[in-house]
Amino acid sequence: MNDLRIGVGVHSPITALLAEEAGADVLWLGSLEMSTSRGVPDREVLEPHEIADLIRSVRAVTSLPIYVDADTGRGSDELAVLATKLFEEAGADAICVEDNLYPKRNSLDDRFGGRELLDPEAFAGRISAMVAARRSLKVIARTEALVAGMGAGEAVDRLRRYADAGADALFAQANRASADQLLTVVEQAAKLRPLVLAPTALPGTGAEAFAEHGPVTVIFANVVMRSLVEQTSRVLREVVATRRLDSVSHQLSPVERLFELSERSGAGGEEARTGSGAAVEDPARAESGLDARERARVAMAEAAFDYCAGGAGDESGLRRNVERLDALTATPRVLRDVSRRSTGVEVLGRRLAAPLLVTPMGLQALCHPDAEAATAGAADSLGLGFTLSMFGSRPVEEVARCAPGLWQQLYLLRERSVSWSVLRRAEEAGAGAIVCTVDVPVVGRRDRDARNGFRRFDAAPPALVRDPCFLDLLEHRRRDTPSLTAAGLVSQLFPDPSVSWADLAALRSRTRLPLVVKGVLHPHDAVRAVDAGADAVQVSTHGGRQSDRHLAAVDALPGVVDAVGDQVPVLFDSGVRSGAHVATVLGLGARAVLVGRPVLWGLASGGREGAARALETIVTGLDHSMALLGAPSVADLGREPQRTKELT
């Protein structure tokens, strides 16, 4: 008999500890256990970030391999890739995806008749995409061919295709198939890859029978949950009926046993949280129902929160950006095949899992000590883009390790040599583009900051103050002004109201990297930016932080798109709060969207994981909107009219 490993389905840290104590070799986070433990149907209801949170909690208490059931990958290659990266980051060792149609139906659920499966070539493409996205995570390809009544031959043919696509292990689900039928598949498929099996519907077949043909992991997938339901139901009925404990005491674990398990769990969890550097979320806060913005408000200092949340003047410009996006509607197209959707897009030579990047936002240490390292890592883990602010809390050399190919935002300071130093360092760190922000001739009037007496560069000095050129300049100026601080020098250099098109041309001549001009609202300015060598223009009102009387960014977008035509891509930021907003903006002609405050609130309330949840929610919302609009790809969103009466 060859290698045989036994897996047990679990749904919590405590059940993981019990499985490990019992001698399990592998922990299986199966969709049925995870879903039923939360009281929801096993129909891909749980969000990927919820599963990732569970992975982290189990990983905190055990070193056993964790295999995670990802169902169909939410019916999308891109979302399957997102899950691959998210689950690996959370601590999983393997991810299992099946060729069921989305949303999947549990293989043991025969209440609704037969079922269809995804085309095997299409599913093989999904496997290939997941394999390309992972670092060391194993990809398990599962076929439901036997469940669908296709026979052993079809099951083996599908598994062979999935092995050729790069799957590390193969899984044949049996359901009502006979043991002989499943063993026929095992005998042939074992020659291709190690096998994973969960013979729940074959209780009389021992695990050893499946291991005679090659390495196999046999998973007892839902024993824990079924046992829990049966035993708990019996005990509770007895307690309620007798109104006393002595009738069930012999069925209860001693309280000391709970102490012992929870202390083992607590020690491991604390060690894992400390080692990972992740924020430890306050359970009371998590259960209070507060959204990420309000949780961020609780987590941050009041003045720091106001700095991040606030806008210019009466903040009507900030509100207008969101309100105008909310006012736009779309006309769905029907009877278009959206069973397979792709959110992927190429932007300035880089393929992104979705047309979404993090916009440049400075001083992120105000939100969380991990600052840009966390938000950049969150974006990169999901295959999304990241733009580092010139006033970021972490230097480009560090952040670029978290998000290779990041974009570097740049201001043209009064002392250009400092700007050129930042440019050079970004190039050396492997930046993928330079984003020159041009809408800050003066800093917008921020009433909240004035009211709080908040001085941003004093509160959180940017990494710029450690730039070699900046330090040389500071030393030079201190000869005349010994009391000059680094924050004071930053304020002297920024902003420069004399910046002109000639300065943009000078920047263009200094770098071969793609150049994005950010802060464009007027069509003529967009054309001029292209003429000056811009590789993209970014429609932006600086998130409403510069003026309270600007038109909303989305109102400027169609004019800019028309002005530049197909010459360069048009990017967009300001007011984006959801995947539906992203779909709207793409429908108006933008190539990609940059998002800001939702990521900050996620960072403040949950560190890197919180930022990843915020981004994942937007991507999932975009995918959902595409399905409703009849758009299999982001390109299919087109530029069809999406205006309300007020916008015509």
Active site residues: 542
Instruction: Give the other-Cβ count within 10 Å of 213's Cβ.
Output: 17
3-class secondary structure, 646: helix
Cβ neighbors of 467 (< 8 A, separation 6 or more) are 418, 421, 422, 425
* Residue 388: φ, ψ to 5°: -90, 125
> DSSP per residue over 349-375, as a string?
TEEESSSEEEPP---GGGT-TTHHHHH
Instruction: Give the other-Cβ count within 10 Å of 23's Cβ.
Output: 8
> DSSP per residue over 388-400, as a string?
E-TT-SS-HHHHH
- Cα–Cα distance measured from residue 631 to residue 648, given in angstroms and rounded to the nearest whole number: 24
Amino acid, res. 624 = H
Q: For 10-58, list the strands marked E by DSSP.
A: 26-29
Burial class of residue 491 (count of CB atoms within 10 Å of its CB; 0-12, 13-18, 19+): middle
Contact 77, 125 (CB under 8 A): yes
* Residue 408: φ, ψ to 5°: -105, 120
> Would you state the structure tokens that stand for residue 287, as one six-digit string?
């259960």
> Would you state the structure tokens that stand for residue 22, as one six-digit string?
């019992």
The dihedral formed by the CA atoms of 458, 459, 463 and 465, expressed in degrees to the nearest 10: 10
> Would you state the structure tokens that stand for residue 12, as one six-digit string?
């919590």
Contact 27, 58 (CB under 8 A): yes
Instruction: Give the other-Cβ count within 10 Å of 250's Cβ.
Output: 6
Q: Could you tell me which residues are beta bridge partners of residue 43?
A: none
Residue 254 per-residue DSSP state: P
Which of 23, 49, 18, 21 lies closest to 34 in space, CA to CA? 49
The dihedral formed by the CA atoms of 409, 412, 417 and 420, expressed in degrees to the nearest 10: 30
Secondary structure, 3-state, 522-575: CHHHHHHHHHCCCCEEEECCHHHCCCCCCCCHHHHHHHHHHHHCCCCCEEECCC
Q: For 46-100, list the strands marked E by DSSP.
A: 66-69, 94-98
Residue 135 per-residue DSSP state: S
- Cα–Cα distance measured from residue 355 to residue 367, given in angstroms and rounded to the nearest whole number: 25
Contact 10, 33 (CB under 8 A): yes
Amino acid, res. 80 = A
- Cα–Cα distance measured from residue 590 to residue 345, given in angstroms and rounded to the nearest whole number: 12
How far is C-alpha 119 from the geometric centre of its chain's CA atoms?
Answer: 27
Give 246-254 contacts, CB < 8 A, sequence gap 24+. none
Q: Could you tell me which residues are beta bridge partners of residue 216?
A: 4, 195
How far is C-alpha 89 from the geometric centre of its chain's CA atoms?
Answer: 11
Which of 208, 190, 191 lies closest to 199 in space, CA to CA? 208
Cβ neighbors of 165 (< 8 A, separation 6 or more) are 124, 125, 127, 128, 131, 141
